[in-house]
Amino acid sequence: MQIRLDGRTALITGGSKGLGLAIAESYVESGAAVALVARGAEALAAARAHITGKFQGARVAAIAADVGTAEGCVRAAAEAVAALGPIDILVNNAGTSQRGPFMQVDDALWQADLDLKLFAAIRLTRAVWPGMQERGWGRIINVLNIGAKAPPAQGAPTAVSRAAGMALTKVLAGEGAPHGILVNAMLVGIIESDQWVRRHAADKRGLTWEDWKAEQGKGVPLGRIGRAEEFAAVATLLASDQGGYVTGTAINVDGGRSPVV
């Protein structure tokens, strides 16, 4: 089966590194135009250069915006449309892992987490939804984590924000279905990404990257952490016509790590 996205345009937040960049590469390879959105202009430029250097003729826009703000969401969507045309696929991927004991999480951290992980998805969906509805075709993918289904102790605020994102996914799927807009969530387990590179760098034991990955993978039923390309492959299927009968789902992409199906 060949999965193609020819003629489609995607907007991917958190698109300059890690999972977002892997999804962008997969989409471009499948024929889509892609708008990469992130806060860091330098990382965005490097990501765009990487993709356009790898895929001849790739249509890639790099948009520096903070989607944790209402203004940033409006600007990101507007600049993406101006550069590449109407948005057919929205991947809400922006976010960092914020967690700790409940009593140590103050209001500012709660608000920042909700703004970046929940309200960004709400605001960007609101921006692209009318066009998708008018054309009778759209795909929205919310990247969450397995804590959305099984929130752990000391998992706030991320687990709460992600659980809200899963509820949002179901609400939007029900409203979008009559208009050809499919909405799904992908739940991350332990997958190679920029966050895990930073965690390895912060580990003072001096383990090599490969040894550190092997250690982290011991708690995963498949015995290893996932690769960003594996995550991107699922995102590409969900964005395609071949995934046209899948909506309202929250798919674990976690090597079997989640205790909840």
- pLDDT tens-digit series, residues 166-187: 999 999 999 999 999 999 999 9
Model confidence over 201-242: pLDDT tens digits?
A: 999 899 999 999 999 999 999 999 999 999 999 999 999 999
Q: Are 225 and 254 in contact (CB under 8 A)?
A: no
Percent of the chain with pLDDT over 90: 95
pLDDT at residue 97 in the model = 87
Residue 158 predicted with pLDDT over 90: yes
Distance of CA 100 to the CA centre of its chain: 22
Domains of the chain in sequence order: 9-191+226-253 (3.40.50.720)
pLDDT at residue 193 in the model = 82
pLDDT at residue 215 in the model = 94
Average pLDDT score over residue span 128-151: 98
- What CA–CA distances, in Å, run from 27 to 98, 108, 147? 28, 35, 27
Point out which residues pair with 142 in neighbouring strands: 92, 185
Higher pLDDT, 232 or 199: 232
Model confidence over 59-95: pLDDT tens digits?
A: 999 999 999 999 999 999 999 999 999 999 999 999 9
Average pLDDT score over residue span 37-53: 98
- The SS3 assignment for 260 reads coil
Q: Are 7 and 27 in contact (CB under 8 A)?
A: no
Distance CA 72, CA 69 (A): 5
Q: How confident is the model at residue 196 (pLDDT cuts 50, 70, 90)?
A: confident
pLDDT at residue 96 in the model = 86
Q: What is the DSSP string of 180-232?
A: TEEEEEEEE-SB-SHHHHHHHHH-TT---HHHHHHHHGGGSTTSSPBPHHHHH
pTM over 0.85: yes
How big is the CA angle at 141 (ends 255 and 92), to the nearest 5 degrees? 105
Residue 38 predicted with pLDDT over 90: yes
Average pLDDT score over residue span 153-157: 97
The overall average pLDDT reported for the chain is 97
Q: How confident is the model at residue 98 (pLDDT cuts 50, 70, 90)?
A: very high
Model confidence over 1-26: pLDDT tens digits?
A: 899 999 999 999 999 999 999 999 99
